[in-house]
C-alpha cells in the first residue's frame, strides 16, 4: 500500500474501521481483479488529498472473506464509506476520480460538515455545493 492507504485485515478491522473517530473509506479489492488495479491509483490520490480528515483503507477480499461476506460484497471493486462503524454509502465498480470526488463531497457535506476542507480539493471539478459548473447557454 502506498502513502496514507491502510492495509485492512481481520486483525485491524475493528480498530481501524469500526472504532475510528474519523470517517473511513474502504476499497474492497482482490489482486486478480483488473478493475481493482485501475481504481487503485485513484484511491491513493484521494487518500493523499483528503489527508488526516478521512481514513482510507483497502481490504483484500481473498484474504479476508469473512469481512467481505459481512458487508455483502458480491462485486469488486466496491467502495464503502463508514462513519462511527456504520455503512453510510457504497459505490461498485470503477468510476472516474471526478465522480468519486463529487460523491465524497456530497456525502461529507451531508454527514461530516467537511465542506471548508473538501471544496478546495475539488475546485477544478465542483464550483458550488450543488454540483458541476452550470453549462453556458448558446441561445
Residue 42's domain is classified under what CATH number?
3.40.30.10
- The pLDDT of 107-132, averaged and rounded, is 52
Residue 17 clears pLDDT 80, i.e. is over it? yes
Residue 27, domain extent? 5-94
Residue 61 clears pLDDT 90, i.e. is over it? yes
Q: Is residue 65 domain-resident?
A: yes
Nearest CA to 35 out of 88, 96, 89, 90 is that of: 96
Query: Residue 36 catalytic?
Result: yes
Q: Is residue 89 domain-resident?
A: yes
Q: How many structural domains compose the chain?
A: 1
Query: Which residue is catalytic, options 8, 24, 26, 33?
Result: 33
pLDDT over 90 percentage in the chain: 55
What are the angstrom distances between the C-alpha of 109 and each of 43, 102, 139?
20, 10, 34
Q: Is residue 114 domain-resident?
A: no
What is the pLDDT of the chain when averaged over all its residues? 82
Q: Is residue 49 domain-resident?
A: yes
Residue 46 clears pLDDT 60, i.e. is over it? yes
Q: Is residue 86 domain-resident?
A: yes
Q: Is residue 116 domain-resident?
A: no
Cis peptide before 129 (omega within 30 of 0): no
- The pLDDT of 20-34, averaged and rounded, is 95
Residue 44 clears pLDDT 60, i.e. is over it? yes
Q: How many whole angstroms separate alpha carbon 60 and alpha carbon 3?
A: 17
Residue 1 clears pLDDT 50, i.e. is over it? no
Residue 119 clears pLDDT 70, i.e. is over it? no
Cβ 107 vs Cβ 88: under 8 Å: yes
- Supply the pTM of this predicted model: 0.76
Residue 127's pLDDT is 40
Q: Is residue 120 domain-resident?
A: no
Residue 2's pLDDT is 52
Query: Residue 33 catalytic?
Result: yes
Query: Which residue is catalytic, options 17, 25, 36, 81?
Result: 36
Q: Is residue 109 domain-resident?
A: no
Amino acid at each position: 500500500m502506498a502513502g496514507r492507504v491502510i492495509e485492512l485485515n481481520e486483525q485491524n478491522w475493528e480498530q481501524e474501521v469500526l472504532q475510528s473517530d474519523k470517517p473511513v473509506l474502504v476499497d474492497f479489492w482482490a489482486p486478480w481483479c483488473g478493475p481493482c488495479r485501475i481504481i487503485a491509483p485513484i484511491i491513493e490520490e484521494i487518500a493523499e488529498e483528503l489527508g488526516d480528515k478521512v481514513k482510507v483503507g483497502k481490504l483484500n477480499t481473498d484474504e479476508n472473506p469473512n469481512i467481505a461476506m459481512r458487508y455483502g460484497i458480491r462485486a469488486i471493486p466496491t467502495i464503502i464509506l463508514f462513519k462511527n462503524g456504520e455503512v453510510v454509502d457504497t459505490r461498485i465498480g470503477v468510476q472516474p476520480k471526478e465522480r468519486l470526488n463529487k460523491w465524497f463531497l456530497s456525502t461529507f457535506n451531508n454527514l461530516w460538515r467537511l465542506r471548508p476542507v473538501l471544496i478546495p480539493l475539488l475546485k477544478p471539478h465542483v464550483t458550488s455545493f450543488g454540483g458541476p459548473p452550470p453549462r453556458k447557454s448558446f441561445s
